A = this chain, B = another copy of it.
């Protein structure tokens, strides 16, 4: 359903960038979960714009729980979180309201909503809508961590600068995940972060923007999660990932690099070492749409943010005249470091939902 995802852990998001508030309703939470607000707020904080590599619009993003939470615990009924919109400068947008921003949803929203959409700041299409999604994801993440399941991402590539890849070895990978989460440009190799920062700042100075690739890992996920046929783990996770603004590609394991390899090179030999493992992990922890117990490995590409200060060619949506557009407002020269948190959030939502569905099936075997 349009703005709702999840069969068991259901997340409904709402709001516009410059409306009164954005928010999320989470249905399916068990009762009695004490929310770790420090953890959740820390994740909210990481999504926020900071420093020179981000937009100058600073939001408090304070979470305001209006239902489903009582005396410090979830009640089991829908938990609703509101985030007020503040620090808006809608005036920035009205001037150029009729000039369709290239590679934005301006034109598509205009067709879909017959011109009635809230155009200010991208409205419902704004990256801002991911704030409540991160709140929901943080709650899912907290639940998963109590089960020992870890989820994390690093910036594998930002523009032309590559970070080192995740370690193949599970213990090393776990270490990497645990250490990385404190950084803003989360990378494994700090020298890469510095080079990325330089590129982003240079792009910003040119009034331009850059994109990148996130590598995500899900650790300690039990084997047997995911459903043929249409609810393969790849299907469910990609569905969520592609709902994140600016995501234009998703791959699992070797992904597109499978193309020119032989089956004999990339098949993952199965071994036994106290538990069933594979010698390599080209399939990214998933076979037949179902987790195999190895780390789930995902790559997601984030396109350069389409809001740039450079002059662009477009048309006036009413007159259809060709016009030049210089986008006003405050925007991010890069969003990959912020998208990283949104990616983690949706992965947590998807994984928790799938774990819950497995439990439903197991009811029958009790």
Judge whether A213 and B7 touch: CB under 8 Å. Answer: no
* A77-B322 CB under 8 A given contacts A238-B239, A262-B203: no
Residue of B nearest to A237 (CB): B242
The complex places the Cα of A272 from the Cα of B317 at a distance, in Å, of: 10
Q: Which of A44-52, A67-75, A166-174, A180-188 is the contact stretch?
A: A67-75
Complex interface: chain B residues within 8 A of A362 (CB):
30, 359
A209 within 8 A of B: yes
Partner of A287, one of B14, B105, B203: B105
Contacts of A33 in B (CB 8 A): 364-365
Q: Would you call A366 an interface residue if the criterion is a C-beta within 8 Å of the partner chain's C-beta atoms?
A: yes
Residues in B whose Cβ lies below 8 Å from that of A224: 108, 111-112
CB distance from A252 to the nearest CB of B (A): 5
Bound state CA distance, A148 and B3, in angstroms?
29
A267-B234 in contact (CB<8A): no
Among candidates B212, B234, B268, B269, residue contacting A247 with C-beta atoms closer than 8 Å: B234
**Does any Cβ of B come within 8 Å of A89's Cβ?**
no
Residue from A229, A302, A308 whose CB has the most chain B CB atoms within 10 Å? A229
Q: A231 at the A/B interface (Cβ < 8 Å)?
A: yes
Partner of A365, one of B32, B106, B125, B360: B32
Contact of A315 among B80, B104, B268, B271 (CB under 8 A): B271
Verify if A301 is at the interface (C-beta below 8 Å from B): yes
The listed residue (B8, B159, B234, B278) touching A357 by CB distance below 8 A is B8
A290 to chain B, nearest CB (A): 4
- Asked if A313 is at the interface (CB within 8 A of a chain B CB), the reply is yes
The yes or no answer to A42 lying at the interface (CB within 8 A) is: no
Give bound CA distance, A355 to B357, whole Å.
12
Q: What 9 A-B pairs are tightest by C-beta distance, nearest first?
A: A105-B288, A249-B251, A209-B263, A359-B363, A31-B113, A108-B290, A263-B304, A234-B242, A249-B255
